[in-house]
Amino acid sequence: MDLFTGMRVFVQIVERGSLSAAASVCNISPTMVGNHLQTLEQRLGTTLLNRTTRRQQLTDSGQQYYQRCVEILQQVADADAQAREGQAVPRGRLRVSAPVSFGSEALVPLLDHYLERYPEVTLDLVLSDRQVDLIEEAFEAAIRIGPLPDSGLIARPLQPYRMLICASPDYLARRGMPRHPRELATHSCLALNASTHTRWRMNGPDGPISVPVGSRLQLNNGQALRTAALNGLGVVMQPEVLMAQDLAAGRLVQLFPDHELPSRPMHLVYLPDRYRMPKLRSFIEFTLERFGPDTTSK
């Protein structure tokens, strides 16, 4: 049996939840669907799907193979679409979700380049730290920070979300410049309002460090923490994208540049069957060009 056809049938089995539902979508008999699955499993020498009369469940090998099948079939579909569409012009309304700090400080300042490059695209950018549902809320793409749960979405890695520790020159003039992270225990360290006391962790020349920090002021918003730091209320640990302009202008001073702070993974995610749309491809390519893992934001 044809390998690509078998992959397509397998993907439909997983996404539709049963052999009979996959058969309806693929316009073949359930028996033929089962034959395709059996042929794949024999070819790979492993079980892809555990099936009972009530339910089906992917094995670990099946989950990995499903993800690869989605990617391979998407690449084939993209090649076909590009051949058919030729130089199709991106156009129409594109709805994208992004986290508040990253979106406002890093993405929005670059969108004039995107809109100038693609004049027939109307971009609807929604900034929210809530994880949106792409299907239910009609988003074509989303930028997400942190580990990704298992899903049917395609995830393209971006630069990690890097953190920095900063304070204002005024605060440092009053309280003194801490020379080692352990000295933060005696400083006012502004934090999100999870608790009165927390710990900041980092890696230095002498290895990992965990420093207890605290403050009389906790806030629930990164922009508010930045404003508090600018006004000399304390030391802050926040994303680099949120504080880059203040650092460049001298309004904030980076502390402990020889220490590595935790960073979080960041991805651009989208539905597999949407990539063939020129407007979405244009945004994916632009985002990877500006924020891809091998680039530097500018």
Same domain, 211 and 179: yes
Would 10 be classed as within a structural domain?
A: yes
pLDDT at 65 over 50: yes
Last residue within a domain, chosen from 51, 70, 85? 85
Q: pLDDT tens digits for 123-134?
A: 999 999 899 999
**Do 147 and 78 fall within a single domain?**
no
Q: Residue 247: pLDDT above 70?
A: yes
Q: Do the domain assignments include residue 119?
A: yes
Q: pLDDT at position 296, please?
A: 55
- CATH number of the domain at 63, please: 1.10.10.10
Within a domain: residue 285?
yes
Q: Would residue 251 count as lying in a domain?
A: yes
pLDDT at residue 194 in the model? 54
Number of domain units in the chain: 3
Tens-digit pLDDT profile for residues 73-121: 888 877 776 666 545 789 899 999 999 989 998 999 999 999 999 999 9
Q: What is the mean pLDDT of the chain?
A: 88
Confidence bin at 202 (pLDDT 50/70/90):
very high
Whether the predicted pLDDT of 52 surpasses 80:
no
> What value does the mean pLDDT take over residues 259-279?
88
**Which of 85, 105, 120 represents a domain boundary (last residue)?**
85
pLDDT tens figures, 249-258: 999 999 999 9
Looking at the structure, tell me whether residues 176 and 249 fall in a common domain. Answer: yes
Give the confidence band of 298 by pLDDT, cuts at 50, 70, 90: very low
Q: Clarify whether residues 45 and 103 are in a common domain.
A: no
- Please report whether residue 27 resides in a domain: yes
Q: Give the residue with greater pLDDT, 36 vs 195.
A: 36
136 and 258 belong to one structural domain: no
Domain that holds residue 186: 162-262
Same domain, 172 and 124: no
For residues 148 and 215, state if they share a domain: no
In the 3-class helix/strand/coil scheme, how is the chain assigned residue by residue?
CCHHHHHHHHHHHHHHCCHHHHHHHHCCCHHHHHHHHHHHHHHHCCCCEEECCCCEEECHHHHHHHHHHHHHHHHHHHHHHHHHHCCCCCCEEEEEEECHHHHHHHHHHHHHHHHHHCCCEEEEEEECCCCCCCCCCCCCEEEEECCCCCCCCEEEECCCEEEEEEECHHHHHHHCCCCCHHHHHHCEEEEECCCCEEEEEEEECCEEEEEEEECCCEECCHHHHHHHHHCCCCEEEEEHHHHHHHHHHCCCEEECCCCECCEECEEEEECHHHCCCHHHHHHHHHHHHHHCCCCCCC
Q: Is residue 297 part of a domain?
A: no
Residue 54 has pLDDT above 50, yes or no: yes
CATH number, position 190? 3.40.190.290
> Per-residue pLDDT for 162 more than 70?
yes
Digit-coded pLDDT (tens) for 207-230:
899 998 887 788 888 888 999 999
Please identify, among 85, 111, 134, the residue that sits at the C-terminal boundary of a domain: 85
Asked whether residue 242 falls in the same domain as residue 190, the answer is yes
Please check whether residue 184 is in contact with residue 292, taking contact to mean a CB–CB distance below 8 angstroms: no
pLDDT bin (cut points 50, 70, 90) of residue 192 is confident
Quick one: pLDDT at residue 75? 84
Q: Are residues 154 and 96 in the same domain?
A: yes
What's the average model confidence in pLDDT over 54-65?
87
Quote the CA–CA distance of 121 and 140 in Å, as a whole number: 13
Q: Are 124 and 269 part of one and the same domain?
A: yes
Distance between CA 119 and CA 117 in Å, rounded? 6
141-156 per-position pLDDT tens digit: 999 999 888 778 999 9
Average pLDDT over residues 14-37: 90
How high is the pLDDT of residue 196? 46
- Between these two residues, 194 and 12, which has the higher pLDDT value? 12
Residue 150 lies in a domain: yes
Please tell me whether residues 155 and 198 are part of one structural domain: no
* pLDDT at res. 86: 47
CATH classification of the domain holding 106: 3.40.190.10
pLDDT for res 297: 45
Short-list 144, 123, 146, CA closest to 134: 144
* pLDDT recorded at residue 53: 66
User: pTM of this prediction?
Assistant: 0.61
pLDDT of residue 83: 64
> Are residues 190 and 222 both part of a single domain?
yes
In a domain, residue 213? The reply is yes
